[in-house]
Amino acid sequence: MKNAPMRFGGLSLSHNPHTLKIEHSGNIRELMPPCCEPDSVYLGERISRVSGEGEMYGEDCIERFAVLEKLYKAHIRSKLALPHMRPIYAYIKELELIAEPMDNVLRYRFVFTEAQSPRKSERLGVYHTVIGSESLWDISYSYGVPIERLIELNTGIPYIDDVSEGTRVRIC
């Protein structure tokens, strides 16, 4: 069975990384009441870092890596979808080209840091600027908005699969 590819910011990493490390951290708050002994409260666990290494293949591997670089440099928070895990919102904390690209293969290393999920009220009137060769399908997947809703909100975009880089797409 083939795993779904790792995705971030509308970009599908069609070949999943060969190493993937997911670090969890507990959210514990220490209480220091003035009258009693210190106590702590466990507030749950969250994923704090996702790191790994992988390869991009194909004639467009340099262009796809450039899209990741743009997302990194712009500090874009987006949905990170990993095989067999719930998606999380994250930022790219580190991105490194490991070796000089050759023969349509590019080796890279990455670190994502989990971010807070946007509240629905924050998404009202939110726009996404198309990066690279994103389609409305990619944007729909990234934001968890049904494709039908994106089509309703963006009547000026005639083709779902043909959106120019730099186009502003209304999310909600």
Indicate the average pLDDT of the chain.
80
What are the pLDDT digits (tens) for 15-51? Answer: 778 888 888 776 666 666 666 666 666 556 666 889 9
More confident residue, 116 or 115: 115
- Arithmetic mean of pLDDT, 63-85: 85
On the question of pLDDT at 110 being above 90, the answer is yes
Residue pair 91/112 in contact (Cβ under 8 Å)? The answer is yes
On the question of pLDDT at 114 being above 70, the answer is yes
Closest CA to 134 of 89, 172, 171, 164: 164
Residue pair 146/140 in contact (Cβ under 8 Å)? The answer is yes
pLDDT at residue 119 in the model: 54
On the question of pLDDT at 136 being above 70, the answer is yes
Instruction: Kindly indicate whether the domain formed by 1-117 is annotated with CATH number 2.60.120.
Output: no
Pick the CATH number of 118-172 from 3.20.20.70, 2.60.40.3880, 3.40.50.720, 3.10.350.10: 3.10.350.10
CA 54, CA 163: separation in Å to the nearest integer? 28
**Residue 85: pLDDT band with limits 50, 70, 90:** confident
**Lookup: tokens for 125:** 């009137």
Closest CA to 7 of 167, 169, 134, 146: 134
Question: For tokens 């999920």, what's the residue?
Answer: 117
What are the pLDDT digits (tens) for 138-150? Answer: 888 777 788 888 8
pLDDT at residue 98 in the model: 92
On the question of pLDDT at 159 being above 90, the answer is no
Spatial neighbors of 104 by CB under 8 A, at least 6 apart, are 57, 58, 59, 61
pLDDT at residue 120 in the model: 47
Domain boundaries for CATH 3.10.350.10 within the chain: 118-172
Q: Indicate the burial class of 29 (C-beta count within 10 angstroms; 0-12, 13-18, 19 or more).
A: exposed
CA 140, CA 135: separation in Å to the nearest integer? 9
**Lookup: tokens for 60:** 């467009």
Helix (H, G, I), strand (E, B) or coil at 139: helix
pLDDT at residue 41 in the model: 60
Helix (H, G, I), strand (E, B) or coil at 143: helix
